[in-house]
Structure 1
Amino acid sequence: MSEIRVASRYAKSLLELAEEKGALEVVHNDMQLFSNTCDNSRELKLMLRNPIINHDVKLKALRRLFSDKFHTITLSFFEILTKKQRENLLDVIAKEFHKQYNALMKIENALVTTPFELTEDLRASFRKAVEEISGKQVELKEKINPELIGGFVLQINDKQIDTSISSRLKELRVKFSENPYIKEF
């Protein structure tokens, strides 16, 4: 079975348990913190995926890092996964948990790419526009790409709005290349 499918099942179980126990927000915050920690710590990821390191050692490391920060449900979940020798999937499970949480809470993911850092006003404008388009709350992620020159690219699931100058220049290049009177552009 693929890693994503297994992670999705574990994430669903954790989501349902957290919701049943009334700790959904806390567990979601725990999983977000864990995911961010993994994204920023290559060593933690490698340690969890290393088959040579004993599972008990991995559990001790997780406890030492997160026992004072995480809810008991999250810590118990980590213990269960470690006993089942599935700690290598924890990072993937955390990401899947976040996706399922967003689906449950009807939160839309959007990515805006600009050639510069967004101001609070622009961020609010993008968030409002996506909320109007999707009719859902928005989790807006930002990416900076100086090659866009100007404008923006907004992705909402499989939809994309591209108003970047670099994309307009590419369109012009294609139009000019199709013109038989212009040899080279």
Structure 2
Amino acid sequence: MSVGIVAARYAKSLIELAKEQNVVEAVYADMKLFLDTAHQNRGLMLALKSPVVRHEKKLAILKAIFFERVNPVSYSIFTIITKKNRESILDAIAEEFITAYDEYRGIQKATVITTTPLTEELRKQFNKIVADATGKTVELEEKVDPSLIGGYLLRVNDRQIDASIKSRLNELKLQFAN
């Protein structure tokens, strides 16, 4: 079974448990904390993914880092995952949980890439475009990439609108090459 499917199942179970225990927000914060820690400390994920490091040692590492800092529901998933020998996918489970949380809260994440920082008016327009298309509350991530030359690139899930001058120039280049 693929990592994504397994991670999604664990994340779904975790969000259901968090709903039952009325700690969804706390578990969400804990999953973000875990991902931030894993991204900042490459050694943590290397240890969790290592077949050489014993599962008891991996659980001890997780306990030392997170036991005092996270909700008991979040820590219980660390324990369960480690006992099931799936600690190598804890980062994928945390990412899937965050996706499930966004779905639960009706949040749609979108990324807009422009050549200059967005004005408040443009930000509202992009929010409206995504909100109208998805019917959800929009969480817009803004990035600046001067190599686009002009225009924008808007990504929502696996969909992308490329209205950049860079892509238009590349299309013209391809047309002239033929």
Distance (Å, rounded) in 2 between the aligned partners of 1:169 and 1:38: 39
Deviation readout 1:50-82 (Å, 9 max, x if unpaired):
111121221121122122321010011111111
Distance (Å, rounded) in 2 between the aligned partners of 1:69 and 1:124: 37
2:91 maps to what in 1? Answer: 91
Question: Segments of 4+ in structure 1 off by > 6 A?
Answer: none
Deviation readout 1:98-149 (Å, 9 max, x if unpaired):
1122222222121212234556665454334322332211232334433212
User: What amino acid is the match of 2:159?
Assistant: K
Q: 1:123 to 1:34 in 2, by over 3 A?
A: farther
1:159 maps to what in 2? Answer: 159
Distance (Å, rounded) in 2 between the aligned partners of 1:123 and 1:47: 41
Distance (Å, rounded) in 1 between the aligned partners of 2:103 and 2:89: 21
Question: Cα RMSD between the aligned structures?
Answer: 2.1
2:4 maps to what in 1? Answer: 4
How do 1:51-90 and structure 2 match up within 5 A? 51-90=51-90
Distance (Å, rounded) in 2 between the aligned partners of 1:166 and 1:48: 41
Secondary structure of 1:152's partner? strand
**Which entry has the higher C-alpha Rg, 1 or 2?**
1
Distance (Å, rounded) in 1 between the aligned partners of 2:82 and 2:128: 42
Q: 1:150 to 1:70 in 2, by over 3 A?
A: same
How do 1:3-152 and structure 2 match up within 5 A? 3-118=3-118, 122-152=122-152
Distance (Å, rounded) in 2 between the aligned partners of 1:51 and 1:7: 19
User: What amino acid is the match of 1:100?
Assistant: A
Q: 1:37 to 1:140 in 2, by over 3 A?
A: farther
Where does the alignment leave 5 or more consecutive residues of structure 1 unmatched? 179-185
Offset at residue 92 of structure 1 (A): 0.7
**How many percent of aligned residue pairs carry the same amino acid?**
47
Q: 1:79 to 1:166 in 2, by over 3 A?
A: same
Q: 1:40 to 1:127 in 2, by over 3 A?
A: farther
Where does the alignment leave 5 or more consecutive residues of structure 2 unmatched? none
Length-normalised TM-score, structure 1: 0.84
Number of aligned residues: 178
